[in-house]
Amino acid sequence: MPEPLSREARHSLLERMMLMRRFEEMVIHMAAKHKYIGRNHLYIGHEGTGAAVMALLKPGDLAHTTHRNHGHIVGRGADPGKALAEIMGREGGLCGGRGGTWHMTDTSVGFQSTSAMVGGSIGLATGGGFACKQLGKGNVSVALFGDGVLDEGISYEAFNFASQYSLPILFMCENNEKPGRRETSMLAADRLLDIPKALKIHTMTVDGGDVENVHAGVSEALARIRKDQVPVFVESQIEAWPGSHQHKPEFTTGETDITMAWDAGKISGQYAEWIRQEPILRYIRKLLAENAISQDEVTALDAKVREKMAKARDYAEASPFPKAEGAVLGAFA
Amino acid sequence: MTEKTFAQAMFDALSLSMEQDATISVFGASSFVLGRGLPPADEKAFIAKYEKRLFDPPVSENVLASVGVGSATAGLRPFINFGTSSFAFEAHNQIVNEAGNARYMSGGQLKVPLVYHMFHGIRGIGGAQHSQSPQSMYANCPGLEVVLPSTPADAKGLMRTAIKSDNPTLFITHTKLLATKGEVPDGDYAIPFAKGEVKRAGKDVTIVAMSLMVLEALKAAELLKAEGIDAEVVDPRTVVPFDAKCVIESVKKTGRLVILEEASLVCSVASEISAIVAEQAFEALKAPIVRVGRPHVPMPYSPSLEAFCAPDAPKLVEAVKKLLKK
């Protein structure tokens, strides 16, 4: 069993989650204001998974994410102003406006090429794992991906490759399949885990709605990966955010009011059930119940995050669009 | 200078590179140049020396190409041999969407120092799926360098540059060139990309060709000499980046351009060269540009059908004679 988390570590996890949430809410507001922004795949509802994984990575570890990358990147410590500017296609963005929402990269926090192809991250992360092994510095490579990736042939190839060559890779699957709605994956296998398991990869399941459960599971997975130099597949079961749509997200659940954590009377409407279960409010309730945080501390944390977001928004809004002629430069080193 | 086979020259370049740079790992070494007439002792020593950097991976071109990109951006210099170029089509998404785009999409944060090697061309009863020449497909995708050597000396020098390059480089070798021989400079040297070479000087007509087609063009030039036609043969050596200056200078001298291309002519490298010359040196042309290539059909299997489709010296001679009305 992993060590129990310190009060500071728990607050830090909560802050990471709130940072991810407030960032995405800001993206929605900016998309309403600037109509050209829109086709974003938001991370709302996934924070329990991303915050735990990002908290556990060490300097030099490599991360490979997908079209749903905002939460991962800002959760790992990328400048939220630069991340927002990138989504807005501005010169001051992480990639100078060349990548946008789908391809955010920040090598300063270990994020390599971000692919929007379903299955892209899993192949690239296998390459990252191969590099970690060859370079021998004890780092690991993480593939972050959704359950739909298991539909793609490359996932089979990647699991086989990683297993054959014993590569230090965390295959972190964020399964946000919506029960009773359009399925995000269509597998003849009973469970996602059956696929990597068939190729002799150790597998685990965690509850994506419970950040500490994810933290404990991923912590164990990473310890195994680092010690034995093997891949591990972790499936995080996530209750999908009702606003998530294939084209444009809809702000169905509204901006998260953190006081709902202690004032259940404020929770109402069509999405009340989701709000009650979503990872941030769940975690605040847990910490409050265990006397690990006070309402004032939660409010202060939120104020701190909101201030960060206000600065990020000012930075992104002030950043100009890239000089048009620059479009023809930079395809080659 | 030492006379060597094309395969030996590529092997020398790879060995030299691996000796100098410990970040180079090779996938698919055994289907690259090993077992293709190299001295067995050299092969054995190579395999023993680089045991931890030589991999014969699962038949998974898709993830293999992606492993190339992921490990290249993480600090390695992977060398990936797909074998026959048709097999690389399994990995097309990774080559085009990941390798070619990574640097640009990241706003220059990432480098992708990676070589994809593959064998192209009409090899003799290869049928539709073992006779592809995919160079124009890759050239059409931004971010990829495309190299097609024609001689052992060029193969060694261009391979050194490809491995040192910080960009994803498609190194496309004609299967039939492997056993060809030529003088190769001893020691270490590199041939820069976008530096074409006049393989035979002439004054009546410029023939542009790459890879195996250079050899056919040189044969044709000898046949044309007997007809009183003095042909210049230009080998651009790399498609991306392309040495337009070398081709245009030759056309300015001869006033006539014939391009020999082993692929189908539809949207081919020959098409691109025609466009470049028409746009940039139209006034130098005394006659329309002529392209010689394979018909736009899958390559047939039967030797008689294949011979009809395969571009070669006699077909080139006919085209040049027609152009010069001889």
* Nearest-neighbour CA in chain A from B146: distance (Å): 13
Confidence (pLDDT) at A39: 82
Report yes or no: A80 and A308 within 8 Å, Cβ to Cβ. Answer: yes
Q: Is A127's pLDDT higher than 70?
A: yes
Per the CB < 8 A criterion, the answer to whether A204 and A234 are in contact is yes
Going residue by residue through chain B (326 aa), what tens digit of pLDDT does each one get?
Answer: 999 999 999 999 999 999 999 999 999 988 888 888 899 999 999 999 999 999 999 999 999 999 999 999 999 999 999 999 999 999 999 999 999 999 999 999 999 999 999 999 999 999 999 999 999 999 999 999 999 999 999 999 999 999 999 999 999 999 999 999 999 999 999 999 999 999 999 999 999 999 999 999 999 999 999 999 999 999 999 999 999 999 999 999 999 999 999 999 999 999 999 999 999 999 999 999 999 999 999 999 999 999 999 999 999 999 999 999 87
Cβ pair A169, A90 in contact under 8 A? no
A110: chain B residues, CB-CB within 8 Å: none
Tell me which residues of B are annotated as active site.
130
Has residue A180 got a pLDDT over 70?
no
Length of chain B: 326
| pLDDT on residue A1 | 60
* B95: chain A residues, CB-CB within 8 Å: none
Residue A2: pLDDT band by 50, 70, 90 thresholds? low
**B 238-277 → A contacts, CB under 8 A:** none
Q: With CB atoms and an 8 Å threshold, state whether B97 touches A117.
A: yes
pLDDT single digits (tens) A190-240: 889 999 999 999 999 999 999 999 999 999 999 999 999 999 999 999 988
Cβ under 8 Å to A: B residues 131-160: 142-143, 145
pLDDT above 90 covers a percentage of chain B that reads 96
Q: How far is CA A279 from CA A207, A212, A248, in A?
A: 10, 10, 23
Partner-chain contact A330 B107, CB within 8 Å = yes
Q: How far apart are the first and last CA of chain B?
A: 40
pLDDT of residue A151: 93
Complex ipTM over 0.90: yes
Q: What is the pTM of this model?
A: 0.96
Count Cβ atoms within 10 A of the Cβ of residue A77 and give its class: 0-12 exposed, 13-18 middle, 19 or more buried.
Answer: middle
Torsion sign, CA atoms A108, A109, A115, A116: negative
Q: How far is A157 from chain B (nearest CA, A)?
A: 6
Residues in A lying within 8 Å of B, measured between beta carbons: 62, 64, 93-99, 103, 105-107, 112-115, 117, 120, 123-132, 134-135, 141, 153-154, 157-158, 160-161, 164-165, 330-333
- B103 near A CB under 8 A: yes
* Cβ proximity of B259 and B273 under 8 Å: yes
Residues 6+ positions from A42 with CB-CB distance below 8 Å:
A24, A27, A28, A68, A70, A71, A241, A243, A244, A249
User: Which B residues, 9 through 68, put their C-beta within 8 Å of a C-beta on chain A?
Assistant: 23, 25, 53, 55, 57-58, 60, 62-68
Looking at the DSSP bridge assignments, the partners of residue A207 are A237
> Given CB atoms, is B190 within the 8 Å cutoff of chain A?
no
Q: What is the mean pLDDT of chain A?
A: 95
Q: Is A129 exposed, middle or buried (0-12, 13-18, 19+ CB in 10 A)?
A: buried
Pairing relationship of beta strands B168-174 and B145-147 according to DSSP bridges: parallel
Vertex A47: Cα angle to A43 and A48 (nearest 5): 150
Measured in angstroms, the CA of A322 and the nearest CA of chain B are apart by: 11
Inter-chain CB proximity B107 and A128 less than 8 Å: no
> Which residues of chain B neighbour A98 with C-beta distances below 8 Å?
104-107
A115–B97: do the CB atoms touch at under 8 Å? yes
Nearest CA in chain A to B168: A332
pLDDT number for residue A178: 66
Query: Cβ contact (<8 Å) for A135 and B73?
Result: no
Among A130, A199, A319, the strongest candidate for a mutation testing the B interface, having the largest count of B CBs within 10 A, is A130
Q: Is B98 part of the contact surface with chain A (CB cutoff 8 Å)?
A: yes
Exposed / middle / buried, residue B193 (Cβ in 10 Å: 0-12, 13-18, 19+): buried
Of B67, B78, B108, the CB nearest to A330: B108
- Comparing alpha-carbon positions, the chain A residue that sits nearest to B101 is A331
The alpha-carbon gap from B302 to the nearest alpha carbon of chain A, in Å, equals: 34
For residue B111, the distance in angstroms to the closest alpha carbon of chain A comes to 7
* d(C-alpha B76, C-alpha B80), whole Å: 12
The whole-angstrom separation of Cα B202 and Cα B268 is: 25
Q: Which of A30-44, A244-258, B307-321 has the highest mean pLDDT?
A: B307-321
Of the candidates A9, A8, A18, the residue with the CA atom closest to the CA atom of residue A257: A18
The mean pLDDT value for A288-300 works out to 98
DSSP structure string for B206-258? EEE--THHHHHHHHHHHHHHHTT--EEEEE--EEETT-HHHHHHHHHHHS-EE
- A112: nearest CB among B73, B104, B143: B73
What letter does residue B140 receive in the DSSP assignment? Answer: T
Size of interface A-B (CB pairs under 8 A): 150
Q: In what order do the strands lie in the sheet with B290-294?
A: B197-200, B231-235, B205-208, B257-264, B290-294
Q: Which amino acid is at B103?
A: R
Q: Cα–Cα distances in Å, from A46 out to A16, A210, A283, B285?
A: 12, 10, 13, 64
